[in-house]
A and B are shown apart, each in its own frame.
Chain A
Amino acid sequence: MAEGRWSRRAERPGEYPAYLFEAYRSTSRRAPTRPLLEAPLTLSELSGPGPAMAGMVEPDADLTTNAGTGGEAIGERIIVTGRVLDADGRPQPGTLVEVWQANAAGRYHHERDLHGAPLDPNFLGLGWCLTDDDGRYRFLTIKPGAYPWPNDPNSWRPAHIHFSLFGPSFVTRLITQMYFPGDPLLPLDPIFNSIPDEGARARLVARYDHQVTQPMWALGFVWDIVLAGPRATPFEDAERRYA
């Protein structure tokens, strides 16, 4: 890697989804067709909104009750937790994690979701939290349902939770989806399978953890998130350069 140079996707062929992926039909007119350009990292990209935005939110991490109705969401109660790490494996404390998901019936609380499954008045399917000193996040929610979508005549999304993170810099920005182990829809899902590398796909699947499961209360799933970014050396160079 040249000093200050870093290519998020080109350095890891096969580990990122192709932009143009025929099986996911919406990519056909939205995917750029020219190669992404390499560019040096400057203070504009090494800084980013994450640290400032983290101070602006109050945690709202219990999706089973945060509709504010006084009632509890229907579904299989689960705990989803894990650590947020940087490319060097260092925990990222104080990082904002935003999540959204369908309800237990596979329906989003969203005007554009036309699936005929019932809405749950006690479930909005959104939450956020900040990672603790060990870089750990934790949500209490219900297991989302699978749902059909207009891609192929019989397309179904595997159960998933959407995650959005800033991390420490502009280039660590990540929006992705967490899946559940053993889901029979995973091999059929064009969004999941847009990532060519099997090992990289596996990094999107949480593991069931009986230690996290709380007796008589909720099943536990663990999913660690590693933010892409330049390794420590260019960061430290940048710190010296701008000091």
Chain B
Amino acid sequence: MPEPTPPQTVGPFFHPCLLRLARTVLAGPEAEGERIRLEGRVLDGDGAPVDDAMVELWQADSFGRFRHPLDDREGPRDAGFLGFGRTGTDAEGRFAFDTVKPGRVPWPGGGWQAPHVCLHVFARGLLDRLTTRCYFEDDPATAEDPLLRLVPEERRPTLIARRAAGPGAAYRFDIVLQGERETVFFDL
């Protein structure tokens, strides 16, 4: 069997190439479902903003369907929704995606996962990508999510976006690379 090619850091100079495919608005005018804004910051072990990170998002549409050959289940889907986001962080380490709230996705062997988005983080000083998930605090399914329940209870809040105050459905999700409030990252 061939051996996997190891990763290396994205470095500081990826923007002109990789941000040609930047996508921060995932939900166009035709998108079905509840429109949400997901925003946050990438922070280092000192709490300082990481201003040269890239964040990628992957999610199901509002029916819980993925735009992918493996998801060939019957049933409704939002054919125009792609579910991929990519952005660079700004000087304050901020990122934001305008999307729809994803529907529920099956759990292997039965049952359903709570709505969530999958995230990758890349940056100078990160020798490999980081993989995490973001759930929604005001969704009743979050408390019962089978993957979250595998995470030690005291660390679960790092995977849950908070509903932001003010008009519109905005959720706040910071990604903390290191330290006391370090986000849970998965070996995937």
Please report A residues at the B interface, Cβ cutoff 8 Å: 4, 6-10, 12, 15-19, 21, 24, 26-34, 36-49, 51-53, 56-57, 85, 87-89, 98-100, 102, 108-110, 112-113, 124-128, 162, 164, 169-171, 173-177, 191-192, 194-195, 199-201, 203-204, 224-228, 231, 238-239, 241-243
Contact = CB atoms under 8 A, between A and B. Distances in A.
Contacts of B18: 98, 100, 164
A15 to B, nearest CB: 6
B166 interface: no
B30 interface: no
Contacts of A127: 17
Given A29-B45, A42-B147, A57-B21, A16 B6 contact: yes
B108 A8 contact: no
Contacts of A28: 45, 125
B185 A175 contact: no
B6 A200 contact: yes
B132 to A, nearest CB: 10
A49 B1 contact: no
Contacts of A175: 7-10, 122, 129
A48 B185 contact: no
A26 B11 CA distance: 10
6 contacts: A6-B188, A29-B48, A32-B183, A162-B17, A194-B127, A224-B2
A33 B43 CA distance: 14
Interface residues of B, number: 74
A243 B69 CA distance: 11
Contacts of A4: 108-109
A17 B177 contact: no
Given A24-B125, A170-B58, A176-B5, A41 B188 contact: yes
A124 to B, nearest CB: 7
A42 B115 CA distance: 13
B3 A15 contact: yes
B82 interface: yes
A32 B7 CA distance: 16
A49 B60 CA distance: 11
A42 B108 contact: yes
Contacts, number: 257
A176 B7 contact: yes
Contacts of B151: 37
Most B-side CB within 10 Å, residue of A19, A24, A162, A175: A175
Nearest to B46: A29
Nearest to B66: A47
A170 B1 contact: no
Contacts of A39: 147, 150, 186-188
Contacts of B126: 19, 27, 30-31
B5 A203 contact: yes
B55 interface: no
A108 B188 contact: no
Interface in B138-188: 147, 150-151, 177-179, 182-188
B101 interface: no
Contacts of A46: 70
Contact of B14 (A85, A87, A100, A199): A100
A242 B106 contact: yes
Nearest to A60: B20
Given A8-B187, A37-B150, A47-B66, A228 B4 contact: yes
Contacts of A231: 1
Contacts of B6: 15-17, 176, 195, 200-201, 203-204
B127 A24 contact: yes
Interface string B2-40: 111111111111111110110000000000000000000
